[in-house]
Amino acid sequence: MVSNMSWPTMPTIREASGEIREVDEGQLFFSMTDRRGVITAANSVFVARARFSRAELMGSPHSIIRHPNMPGGCFKLMWDEILAGRPFACYINNLARDGSTYTVFATITPAGPDSFLSVRVRPLRRDLLDQAMGFYRVARQVELAAREHGVNRRGAAAIGGDKLTEVLAEAGWPSYEDFQWNALVAEAEARAVVPAGLETRPQATGPLATMLICCHTLAAELRHWSGHQADIAHMARSLTEAIPHLADTAVSAKAAATELRAGRNGGAANPQVEFLISRLAQLSRLIQKLIQPLSEFRRSCQDTRAWVALAEIHTDALSQFVVEILDDGLNDYDQEAVVQVCQALDLDLTHVSELSEQNSSYAATAVQQLDLAHALITDHQGVVSRLAADLPEAGATVAQSLADAEAAIGLIAHLGRQATALATTPDPRLAEFQLARLLELMDSLSV
């Protein structure tokens, strides 16, 4: 869904009163907007938090709740991503109608050809929230300075976006995408231990009651997926962190053999030494070939985990929305809003399935390369034994280097096989059934 449409122009920003109103831990609120950033749907929690009437919110730009301390660069990054069909997540200060401030962690996702779903929750990772707000302060100062020098709002936002990228890099984040995915997973994990959990309505009957049961079933399935993806991500991280050690051991072994070629340690030119040097160079090349696929494997695992986290947030939002409809009745915009939330969920699960298959492929390739490297080292042992008989001191040096490399490769090969066993594609049938059932039940409702 690529578009050359520019991101929406912001209205005049209102002043903050300084009053802080915290979002409850169990609350989720969402809104839908079109490609112009105009609000087309919202749940009752959003209406209550914004302190505008529903009539005032519907048809208004979402920037009606924009806080003056938020940099335009953040929203530019957001529109660049979502107009390209990619999700976006960020910490945001919002401004209610009465001037009070409420802080949220927001996810914004394409939910159809011309719609975007934004779900907000209370931030639970204070460390990441504080870091983000620090980035925003720097970017906002740069934007305000640009405005004082005659730069228009859109130009200042572009400058602010560049500054955000710069301060993220200085803080050790390669890109905003790395920060947002990390924050998304961290917030989802923190939410998983919040005591409140999903609301229930045990006395409810009819299609909406069944929809709520579907949401709870889907949420339980996603929690299982989340735990599984956490194990895979840990294994992928262990693999990639072990590779530098493996590369060092290969270099050490090659250096020890090269010393023999140079005649050091009493050694002399020897065909066996030349053969060993050649094979160690081959080992080094194999290790270098592993670095990129293992890095890709780790990134793919991180992305998969993030998409599962996004699906969890969307499921929780849908569950809360169904509870609101049960309590307050069905409005004329509810059906379309539920359909769009389900479409966002469908996109989440599609990405999880595709990335999981990709993870399996990466893991299998890594294990194949590790097995080749292990076989190569094993093949050296006979050469080293014969070398040690001729040149005991030098042979022992090479043997120790090879033993170190063999131990490292053995460990990594073990981790690789564990990763392969873990990196299985989750069975999407239960989740897909729950989604299909939700849409079917929604079609059976009438305003």
Is 10:153 a contact under the CB 8 Å cutoff? yes
* Encoded tokens for 376: 């190569």
pLDDT at 139: 96
* Encoded tokens for 124: 């639970």
Is 415:242 a contact under the CB 8 Å cutoff? yes
pLDDT at 10: 44
- Provide the residue-wise pLDDT of the chain in tens; the chain has 447 residues: 333 444 444 444 568 888 999 888 878 888 999 999 999 988 888 999 999 998 899 999 999 999 999 999 999 999 999 999 889 999 999 999 999 999 999 999 988 778 899 999 999 999 999 999 999 999 999 999 999 999 999 999 999 999 999 999 999 999 999 999 999 999 988 888 776 667 788 888 888 889 899 888 888 888 888 888 888 877 778 777 777 777 777 677 677 767 666 664 455 566 766 777 777 777 777 777 777 777 888 888 888 888 999 999 999 888 888 888 888 887 777 777 888 888 888 888 888 888 888 888 877 777 777 777 777 777 766 666 666 666 565 566 666 766 776 677 677 677 767 767 766 666 777 888 888 888 788 777 764
d(CA 148, CA 156): 10
3-state helix, strand, coil in the chain (%, to 5): 70, 10, 25
pLDDT at 6: 41
* Encoded tokens for 205: 């009957």
d(CA 242, CA 412): 7
d(CA 330, CA 443): 13
d(CA 211, CA 118): 21
pLDDT at 65: 94
> Exposed, middle or buried by CB within 10 Å (0-12, 13-18, 19+), for 15?
exposed
Is 116:36 a contact under the CB 8 Å cutoff? no
d(CA 309, CA 383): 52
Residue 23's nearest CA partner among 65, 64, 61, 56 is: 65
Q: Which residues contact 253 (CB under 8 A, 6 or more apart)?
A: 280, 283, 398, 401, 402, 404, 405
Helices 392-422 and 207-261 meet at what angle, rounded to 10?
A: 170
pLDDT at 393: 59
At 444 the three-state DSSP class reads coil
Sheet of strand 101-110, all strands in order from the earlier edge strand to the far edge: 39-42, 28-33, 116-121, 101-110, 88-95
Q: Which residues contact 188 (CB under 8 A, 6 or more apart)?
A: 226, 308, 309, 312, 313
At 27 the three-state DSSP class reads coil
pLDDT at 201: 85
Which residue's structure tokens are 């907007």?
A: 33
d(CA 416, CA 422): 10
d(CA 126, CA 69): 18
